[in-house]
Homo-oligomer: A and B are copies of this chain.
């Protein structure tokens, strides 16, 4: 299974704990925006960097250009963010089976929501369940209609189910707070649920559901 890590430009103080020893994180890296400089500063060189690096200093830009052999820019006429392009490249060119996205949360909420809502874009529909976003307190995964088994992360206490688009017949089978045949036309965050054991099961008929494991 080929894992690719994507580092976006969100604040470092929200990074998932495993980035403290980033060189031990398995898989190659692709970076977007400020993620490129930050990864280089950690001693890791991305396979591909996306961005025009206009918001960093000329010296920093030199450093990026010298270190990274494959740099891509979003075409100005395309309504696409660097992170969206990086995610596309991770699946299409790097042939990722799984992309773990870091630096996608915290700080500017318009950025975070742009990252979160990548999951509802048509082009990512077939790879939805292979995208994972991780930060200091949260792991976010995405699901297309179907029946699923979740495994509890040891350091997380809470479990949330978040229909991002109109969703039908959501069933939380064996969670602390069950839900049966739930339909919604608007997005909703069923927060603060919990695993009873090590596994939890859910299913739904139409829509897209984000699942978040989190801790305080």
Chain A positions near chain B (C-beta within 8 angstroms): 79, 81, 105-111, 113-114, 116-117, 120-121, 135, 137-138, 140, 158, 160, 162, 164-166, 185-192, 212, 214-216
Contacts and interface: CB of A to CB of B under 8 A. Distances in A.
B113 A191 contact: yes
Given A79-B190, A116-B189, 11 more contacts: A81-B191, A109-B135, A109-B212, A110-B138, A111-B189, A113-B187, A120-B188, A121-B186, A164-B186, A166-B166, A187-B187
Contacts of A110: 138, 158, 160, 162, 189-192, 212, 214
Contacts of A214: 108-110
A187 B120 contact: yes
A189 B80 CA distance: 11
Contact of A138 (B108, B121, B190, B212): B108
Nearest to A113: B189
A106 B108 contact: no
A24 to B, nearest CB: 25
25 contacts: A81-B191, A106-B106, A108-B137, A108-B212, A108-B214, A109-B135, A109-B160, A109-B212, A109-B214, A110-B138, A110-B160, A110-B191, A110-B192, A111-B191, A111-B192, A113-B162, A113-B187, A113-B189, A114-B189, A114-B191, A117-B187, A120-B188, A164-B187, A165-B185, A165-B186
